Amino acid sequence: MRMRNKQRKTTILGWNAGSRCSMPAMVWSLVGFLLLLHFYSTLHKTDKAEETRLQMSHHSFQELQVVEEENIQIPPPRRRSPRAAKRRPRKKTTLIDEFLDENSQIRHVFFPDHRSAIDPTKDTGNDSFYYFPGRMWLDTEGIPIQAHGGGIMFDPLSRMYYWYGEYQDVPTFIAPKGLARVDIIGVGCYSSKDLQTWKNEGIVLAAEEANETHDLHKSNVLERPKVIYNEKTGKYVMWMHIDDANYTKAAVGVAISDYPTGPFDYIYSKQPHGFESRDMTIFKDDDGMAYLVYSSEDNSELHIAPLTEDYLDVTPVMKRILVGQHREAPALFKHGETYYMITSGCTGWAPNEALAHAAESIMGPWETVGNPCIGGSKMFKLTTFFAQGTFVLPLAGLPGSFIFMADRWNPADLRDSRYVWLPLIVGGPADWPLEYNFGFPSWSRVSIYWHRKWRLPSGWSDMKR
Ligand SMILES: *[C@@H]1O[C@H](CO)[C@@H](O)[C@H](O)[C@H]1NC(C)=O
Ligand SMILES: *[C@@H]1O[C@H](CO)[C@@H](O)[C@H](O)[C@H]1NC(C)=O
Ligand SMILES: *[C@@H]1O[C@H](CO)[C@@H](O)[C@H](O)[C@H]1NC(C)=O
């Protein structure tokens, strides 16, 4: 062994002379050379990515990565008579209990009232360029935006952003299984050029009032609508979660339109691959291929499947991912050649911890890379800032930077659920990577930074496509 090693070394040293090269030695040298080349190119690539990231963070992104801290105190218990206290000792409350208690004394911290609403009809000076996660958010007519569980599509034809979501401007009631819900009204759509001021484009897919057997009858459930544009057919295609009031149908629905502002024609619903499908999303890749991701098997795992070319159905190919991890509310995005996904746990309307996942191939395997939330407080990190993710929007012209869109659900009055939009940045080593590639972690960290108030990097609109 030792002898052969020594000999190889000599041979490599003698490479330039060329005279003593034996055939196997040349093959070994070539292998060594290629390995070195691979190593240096990996190193170089990482350096390059890091360099870009640092440049960005030093200029436009510095502001986004400075997080704010929160110190929300649980209020002292209300006074009760000593006899009442003796009869029924008070349960210890947590910040999540306070959040879920519509009569909490600190309700305004999570759901600030209309006085602090973001209102584009009023001149608020510099504040009109900022996002205020959790505040009421009004459209260009001064009416609260109704686009819950939504997603945004950039339309290449009109060069506008369209935000689609559940229109929930009706009273909340308690369904048979004790879950707060609203009747289906339909899918709301808002348009914007700057991602800041949103014009109401109306309800682009409406509930069925009369036909009780129709999927969109108001007594059923329509959640998490997402729209993508199909270049080949020139159609806008909407996918959504369709269910009955008891969540036993567990299906996806598909609708289609010639225009981003609808009206969308409802086509059908199905259980993809014959499996339950509840929380879901669709993702369109750079190459025009689109995918459906859905929570299945009682929400214990996610399934991912390519869509057909027209985006109107799933293909028979399906992969199970994050098996046994009980994740929902998937939001997919891509940076470089890597796919990322943010998911939530399954705790109904109550907030829980988000996780980021990464994959080299969209069909998996997917690996969990950690909790992406930074700032606020420990409780903010453990509750995704008291919200649940719904979509991740890439910021055109700023590789590695995204807007994380989440819903701060208000089960006491679902139409008053708030939007929590925060900057998401991909870069730096992940928290939980187990695999190393030549000493470099395989995955980048995904970070979502907490801000009470933040704005897109100045000049962002100039950087757009
Ligand atoms: C707006 O921002 C500029 C620069 O940061 C500042 O000088 C000005 O006072 C601000 N105006 C208002 C109304 O806050
Ligand atoms: C009601 O909806 C079902 C399912 O979509 C459909 O088959 C039926 O034709 C509809 N009935 C009417 C009266 O429109
Ligand atoms: C839902 O469950 C309730 C009570 O368990 C039942 O009365 C009702 O018929 C169910 N509805 C559907 C649509 O399955």
pLDDT digits (tens, 9 = 90+) for 331-387: 999 999 999 999 999 999 999 999 999 999 999 999 999 999 999 999 999 999 999
Are 133 and 420 a contacting pair, CB within 8 Å? yes
Q: Report how far Cα 376 is from the mean position of its chain's Cα atoms.
A: 19
pLDDT band at 78 (very low <50, low <70, confident <90, very high): confident
Domain assignment present for 122: yes
Domain assignment present for 353: yes
Cβ neighbours around 413 below 10 Å, total: 14
Q: Please name which ligand lies nearest the alpha carbon of 129.
A: 1
205, 208, 213, best to mutate for ligand 2 pocket (most atoms within 8 Å of CB)? 213
Closest CA to 408 of 394, 422, 395: 422
Mean pLDDT for the stretch of residues 30-57: 49
Domain assignment present for 34: no
Query: Which residue's CA is minimally distant from atom 5 of ligand 2?
Result: 214
Q: Please name which ligand lies nearest the alpha carbon of 245.
A: 3
> From ligand 3's centre to the CA of 248, what distance in Å?
9
Closest ligand 3 atom to residue 244 Cα is 13
The CATH number linked to 125 is 2.115.10.20
Q: How many domains are contained in the chain? A: 1
- What per-residue confidence (pLDDT) applies to 16? 37
Using CA atoms in the order 429, 430, 432, 437, what is the torsion angle rounded to 10 degrees?
-50
Domain assignment present for 321: yes
Residue 32 backbone dihedrals phi, psi, to 5 degrees: -60, -45
Model pTM score = 0.85
Query: Which residue's CA is minimally distant from atom 5 of ligand 3?
Result: 176
Share of the chain above pLDDT 90, in %: 71
179, 243, 246, 249, best to mutate for ligand 3 pocket (most atoms within 8 Å of CB)? 246
Domain assignment present for 18: no
Separation between Cα atoms, residue 457 and residue 258, nearest integer Å = 34
Domain assignment present for 42: no
Domain assignment present for 428: yes
Domain assignment present for 10: no
> From ligand 3's centre to the CA of 354, what distance in Å?
32
The secondary structure of 23-47 as a DSSP string is HHHHHHHHHHHHHHHHHHHHHHHHH
pLDDT band at 28 (very low <50, low <70, confident <90, very high): low
- What per-residue confidence (pLDDT) applies to 21? 40
Q: Which domain holds residue 442?
A: 54-463
> From ligand 3's centre to the CA of 247, what distance in Å?
10
Q: Please name which ligand lies nearest the alpha carbon of 175.
A: 3
Cβ-Cβ contacts under 8 Å for 215 (sequence gap 6 or more): 208, 242, 251, 253, 266, 269
